Amino acid sequence: MSKSSLTGTRIRARRNLRGLRQSDLAQMVGVSPSYMNLIEHNRRKVSAPLLQAVAQALGVSEDALVQDGDIRFVEGARAAALRTDANLADLERVDEFAGRFPGWAKVLADTQARVERLERVVEHLSDRMTHDPYLGAALHEIISAVTSVQSTAAILNDSDDIAPEWQARFHENILNDSKRLAEGAVALVNYLDTADDTESGLAAPQEEVEAWLARMGFHYPALETMPLADLSRLVEGQVELSSDASRVLALQWLVRLQEDTRALPLDPFVDAMMELGAAPDQLAQHFGVPLPQVLRRLAMLPADDDRLTAHAMPGLVVCDGSGTLVLRRAVDGFPMPRFGGGCPLWPLYQALHCPGRPLRVTLLTDGRMGRRFTAYAICAPEMAPGFDIPPVMQSTMLVVPDSGPTNLPAGQQPLVVGGSCRTCAQQDCPARREPSILVTFA
């Protein structure tokens, strides 16, 4: 096939890049939509006057439509130019540039793609530094110790008339905080030194999907009405989803979330919450749906809905039968590991031992700044049971922040849990599977 015989293909590619419908372009150049369709499928030749009109409508040179320049290079070069202070008048000639110097255009496009990829990596690493629960807690501990040392030292330095007992007390405080500061710094260095190589690289597909869902606030209004066939469009061109694997995974979750939103449409669901409260079991009974579906739906509600201001946005963790975490929605104050399993005491894992039985447990997160949560968990089969096929189970846990006075019966204490053994300081925990990096063992 000659180069010019692919003119229709190039016209279609250029039209799509500019977001024009086929019928719009047809109208702009004075032909029928059906004729334009035949042109774009290379089944009609394009006359010289029509080619000129199409090129003008698309804002490109005629050469760009008849020569075999790679449109990726053109767009790459254009994107590179738009990032700089380059003279935008030259931007009109980017097609000409790519046509005359395809090798240089490729270099420019490849460089631009690399810059975009590296920017995503930097953004991801920065996000990780900000949201790593252990780093946050460790830095808080260090800053608190520094604050105490600085403030106490300033009192001793600025005052000549401090009573001896106060002097002794402040000296002791400084000594204790200095030790704490040293231990905190050592623990922090250990944490950074022992981080796996995998933790410093690019994100795994699951992380990318979680980052993408997080950017959308774990809510996609269009899901309720969008046809199933159109879901794949939602995962295309998303900055976070850099690989085919992450896009496949994202699509799988979209399909499942769509099932959830269709079974539990937003308005009736919120109305039921207003009437019944956010108790997952009551909502499941009210709508006649499985409990895991309600747990997922509660974690996928819009954060900016005025009707939901009284409800704290919960976190969500889902694991398969092996205990591998397959989805995490973070919630402030409840640490979730980025790699490996979570705390063995989580009701998420307890539920795996008693499929079909809902668990509700009050949790207190490990550490001096521990926070209380109510966890709702249940394990259920992923598919209909059948003979000669192994059961595939999945456990789901909703984690709801629990502020204010506790509702626990008198004498009953919340269950203390961590994020993972590595970053949990509970030394006497019977479920510990590896030493904590936060504790200095004598």
Partner 1 sequence: MDKRVLVIEDEPNISEAIRFILTRDGWHVDVTADGVAAVGALQTNPPDVLILDLMLPGFSGFDILKTLRANPATQAMPVLMLTAKGQAADREEAERLGVTRFMTKPFANAEVVAAVQEMTGT
Phi/psi class of residue 388: alpha, beta or left (left: φ > 0; alpha: ψ in -120 to 50)?
left
Please identify, using beta-carbon distances, which residue of 170 and 191 lies nearer to partner 1.
170
Nearer to partner 1, 134 or 349 (CB): 134
- Nearest distance from C-beta of residue 150 to partner 1, angstroms: 5
Contacts of residue 256, defined as CB under 8 A and 6 or more positions apart, other chains included, come to 296
Interface region with partner 1, contact rule CB under 8 A, candidates 30-38, 53-61, 249-257, 364-372: 364-372
- Considering the complex, state which of residue 76 and residue 367 has its C-beta at the smaller distance from partner 1: 367
Q: For residues 13 and 364, which CB has a smaller minimum distance to partner 1 in the complex?
A: 364
Q: In what order do the strands lie in the sheet with 359-365?
A: 325-329, 315-320, 393-401, 372-381, 359-365, 415-417
> According to CB under 8 A, which one of 177, 208, 210, 240 is a site residue for partner 1?
177
The distance of closest approach from Cβ of residue 173 to partner 1 in the complex, given in angstroms and rounded to an integer, is 4
Q: Which is nearer to partner 1, 5 or 178 (CB)?
A: 178
**At its nearest, how many Å lie between partner 1 and the CB of residue 143?**
4
Site for partner 1 contains 126 (CB under 8 A): no
How long a stretch of residues is the chain? 442
Site track 139-168 with partner 1 (rule: CB under 8 A), x = hit = xx--xx-xxx-xxx-xx--xx------x--
Report how far residue 269's alpha carbon sits from residue 410's, in angstroms, rounded to the nearest whole number.
Answer: 34
Largest CA distance in the chain: 101
In 3D space, the residue among 158, 7, 148 whose CA is nearest the CA of residue 68 turns out to be: 7
The footprint of partner 1 on this chain (CB under 8 A) covers a number of residues equal to 30
Binders of partner 1 among residues 365 to 384 (CB under 8 A) are 368-372
Q: Which stretch binds partner 1 (CB under 8 A): 101-109, 171-179, 248-256, 416-424?
A: 171-179
Please list, in sequence order, all residues whose beta carbon lies within 8 angstroms of the beta carbon of residue 100, skipping any fewer than 6 positions away. Answer: none
Least gap, CB of 404 to partner 1 (angstroms): 7
Name which of 160 and 236 has its Cβ closer to partner 1: 160
Chain-centroid distance, C-alpha 227: 24
163 vs 442 by CB, closer to partner 1: 163
CB of 43 to partner 1, least distance (A): 57
Closest separation in Å from C-beta 278 to partner 1:
18
Please, are residues 10 and 1 in contact by the beta-carbon 8 Å criterion? no
- In the DSSP assignment, the letter for residue 202 is P
d(CA 39, CA 50): 11
Site for partner 1 in 380-409 (CB under 8 A): 403-405
Identify which of residues 37 and 144 has a Cβ nearer to partner 1 in the complex: 144
DSSP letter, residue 419? S
The pair phi, psi for residue 372, each rounded to 5°, is -95, 140
| Nearest of 150, 141, 131 to residue 184 by alpha carbon | 141
295 and 316 in contact (C-beta within 8 Å)? yes
Give strand ranges (E) for 154-311.
none
DSSP string covering 232-254: HHHTTT-TT--SHHHHHHHHHHH
Among all chains, which residue has been given the structure tokens 């994020």? 419
Segment contacting partner 1 by CB under 8 A, of 48-56, 80-88, 170-178, 187-195: 170-178
Using CB under 8 A, which of 41, 169, 171, 179 touches partner 1? 169
Measuring CA to CA, how many Å separate 253 from each of 184, 250, 285, 316? Answer: 40, 5, 24, 14
Under rule CB under 8 A, residue 214 binds partner 1:
no
Look up tokens 């209380």; give the residue. Answer: 372
How many of the other CB atoms lie within 10 Å of CB of 147?
11
Identify which of residues 177 and 208 has a Cβ nearer to partner 1 in the complex: 177
User: Binding marks (x or -) toward partner 1, 4..23, rule CB under 8 A?
Assistant: --------------------
Q: Which is nearer to partner 1, 61 or 144 (CB)?
A: 144
Q: Which is nearer to partner 1, 70 or 123 (CB)?
A: 123
Residue 4 or 152: which CB sits closer to partner 1?
A: 152
> Amino acid letter at 144?
S
Other CB atoms within 10 Å distance of the CB of residue 311: 18
Q: Nearest to residue 183, comparing CAs of 373, 392, 438?
A: 438
Instruction: Give me the least distance between CB of 167 and partner 1, in Å please.
Output: 11
Minimal distance, residue 209 CB to partner 1, in Å = 24
Q: Name the residues that contact partner 1, by CB under 8 A.
A: 136, 139-140, 143-144, 146-148, 150-152, 154-155, 158-159, 166, 169-170, 173, 176-177, 364, 368-372, 403-405
